[in-house]
Structure 1
Amino acid sequence: MTEQTTTADQAATTAEQQHFDHLISEDSRVEPRDWMPEAYRKSLTRQVSQHAHSEIIGMQPEANWITRAPSLKRKAVLMAKVQDEAGHGLYLYSAAETLGTPRSVLNEQLLSGKAKYSSIFNYPARTWADMGAIGWLVDGAAICNQVPLCRASYGPYGRAMVRICKEESFHQRQGWEILYELSHGTEAQKKMAQDAVNRFYGPALQMFGPPDADSPNSQQSMEWNIKRFSNDELRQRFVDMIVPQAEALGLTLPDPDLKWNEERGHYDYGELDWNEFMSVIKGSGPCNVQRMKRRREAHANGAWVREAAQAYAERQAREAAASSEDAQDQTTVMAGRGSAELIGA
């Protein structure tokens, strides 16, 4: 490579970087065909694929309750919700693929344990009230986290989030309704609802990620306009939102340090168990092994579907190619006949 070529390449890269920086500074969208720094691409691939994995793994605790739902209506609603989660995973895998990593690679990273998913799904759903706690707390936290992502600087991710957030609002409402009925039911039902909230409150707050001081990716994501708020800012918003909701439900949030701070204009809350959080992320949660075992089994059991779909796609491609060749041959024949008629005339 000559010195002149190297200089030209450097100039081109500088111009591309300047264009990228301009898009970010103007709060515009970066699209798949736009040049982007490799670090931006890598960070987005990690975030979007982890989000997709979480949607897919997150189907498991709720799917377990479809056959045990207390009524046909509840069963139908829960089935619709689980189906939505599968769709969310597909939206997000499609967005991640536009960054250059095939879906097969992303899936293999999940199955091998290399890729992570949200730690909240490594906790068991023990009772029907847990379906309410997951909907109200877990999906509520997801909404707080994901609504700002609708304005993410990467176009495909932001557009996917618009649709996902609309459906998540239904999920949060479903959870609220379950807990409302239980908390206004019998003493046993109230106790079950309170127990579910006690178990999911802490892990739900941990969904926003570690404290800002311990988050290695949050600040850079904010500078790139992928994220709009820090982990702690989002967590505070969520706490401020759910305190009055818990009062309306007649349930108690399990935090003795939870109180209104007039000076800050926010609720103060107690320190979360970050040692437990890290332990679950590293694979020592109550359901880590079970979740991945079922995911691998589902992948293996679905091999015949993928093979059949691939065979069908290949056959369709062959038939389309053959049809195109036949049409081309017919056009050639007709053109030849036309030339012969002109010569004869």
Structure 2
Amino acid sequence: MASQTLQSVPGEPTVAQHEQSLEEAARRDADGQAYFDKVMADDSRIEPRDWMPPAYRKTLLRQISQHAHSEIIGMQPEANWISRAPSLKRKAILMAKVQDEAGHGLYLYSAAETLGQPRDQMMQDLMDGKAKYSSIFNYPARTWADMGAIGWMVDGAAIANQVPLCRASFGPYGRAMVRVCKEESFHQRQGFEILLELSHGTPEQKQMAQDAVNRWYAPALMMFGPPDDDSPNSKQSMAWNIKRFSNDELRNRFVGMMMEQVKVLELTLPDKDIRFNEETKKWEHGPLDWEEFHEVLAGRGPCNAQRLERRREAHNDGTWVREAAAAYAEKQAAKQAEKEFAA
């Protein structure tokens, strides 16, 4: 019987070539990991084309996409009040703020896209309920004073959380946060000014302002995420220089900021356990209802279903715009191809 010789299928790599390919990939990973570790040690930045560990990429995608979703969903509570703003000036300011939030979402999606995730997929995950966003936007804005409380407390918490992100180790995220924080500063001052006017108005207006502060105080503190002992992602994000401070550090720092500003408003924070720690020289808040936090995060908050339904409606209403833009781009590409062919 004739002897047979094993041969590789034409076009397919041989065993030796496959092993060599694996060795080269392992060498690239080792070199990439060494470079990544040096960037972290030097407190420098990773750019989209640099090598990065899969877990680092996954963490960034989760955080940046959730941040973008929060900006887009966060437009809804305030957009509801544009038509009911008490003056033309207030209407114009609120419209500008809502437009800012849309812009924040768009360039945060752009930052996430540099990690290889298509924007359409991120949007679809949001509408399908697979992606999370900040739980605070699942609470209703009941009165005009809520516009003040959202601006002062919610955007104030965002600033406390996001200013350190300007130094995030991932370049596109850190650079995007510089602009976001500048605009959030305007939003926070706008909210404070609304509360200041109400708190120095009639007794009814002052009570309206106090009620709004009472409603938004706890949700604003929970914006920083769960306690450090219950936050599995926080420590790793800090090790990678994505985050600079823990959830509890940021939360306590924010409480200290509010305690000074609430005096000017002549209002009170609804926390009987809030106190100044003489040893640490920091303000400390009372216990928060973390069960409520997890319920809202799981989709069982007051407005979860409504928020996603409106997002789907807005997406569907914009179908003709996306189709028109795609058709225009196709025509422009065809014209360019004709010019190149003629040349």
TM over 0.5: yes
TM-score interval for Structure 1 and Structure 2 normalised by the shorter chain = over 0.9
Matched with 2:270 is 254
On the 8 A contact 2:113/2:119 being kept in 1, the answer is: yes
Secondary structure of 1:217's aligned partner: helix
1:146 aligns with 2:162: yes
After the TM superposition, which residues 1-345 of structure 1 pair with which residues of structure 2 at under 5 Å, given as runs?
Answer: 1-2=15-16, 3-326=19-342, 328=343
- What is the one-letter code of the residue matched to 1:223? A
- Count of residues paired in the alignment: 327
Q: Distance in 2 between matches of 1:12 and 1:319?
A: 42
Shift of 1:5: 3.8
Mapped to 2, the partners of 1:86 and 1:154 lie a distance apart of 22
Q: How far does the alpha carbon of each residue in 1:134-170 deviate from its partner, in whole angstroms, 9 at most, with x for none?
A: 0000000000000000000000000000000000000
Aligned equivalents of 1:262, 1:41: Cα separation in 2:
41
Amino acid at match of 2:26: Q
Q: Structure 1 stretches (4+) deviating beyond 3 angstroms?
A: 1-5
Aligned alpha-carbon RMSD (Å):
0.8
Deviations, residues 274-332 of structure 1 (Å, cap 9, x unaligned): 00000000111000011011001111111111111111111111111111211x2xxxx
Q: Give the residue type in structure 2 aligned to 1:111.
A: M
- The residue that corresponds to 2:9 in the other structure is none
Give the TM-score normalised by the residue count of structure 2: 0.94
Q: Which amino acid aligns with 1:35?
A: W
Letter in 1 for 2:113: E
Measured in 2, the distance between the counterparts of 1:311 and 1:274 equals 49
Structure 1 runs not aligned, ≥5 long:
329-345
Q: CA deviation at 1:4?
A: 4.1
Q: Deviations over 1:24-81 (max 9, x none)?
A: 1111110011011111111100100000000000000000000000000000000000
CA contact (8 A) 2:253 2:283 kept: no
Q: Which secondary structure does the structure 1 equivalent of 2:46 belong to?
A: coil
Question: Separation in 2 of the partners of 1:47 and 1:311?
Answer: 33
For structure 2, which runs of at least 5 residues remain unmatched after alignment?
A: 1-14
The 1:322–1:6 alpha-carbon spacing in structure 2 relative to 1, beyond 3 Å, is same
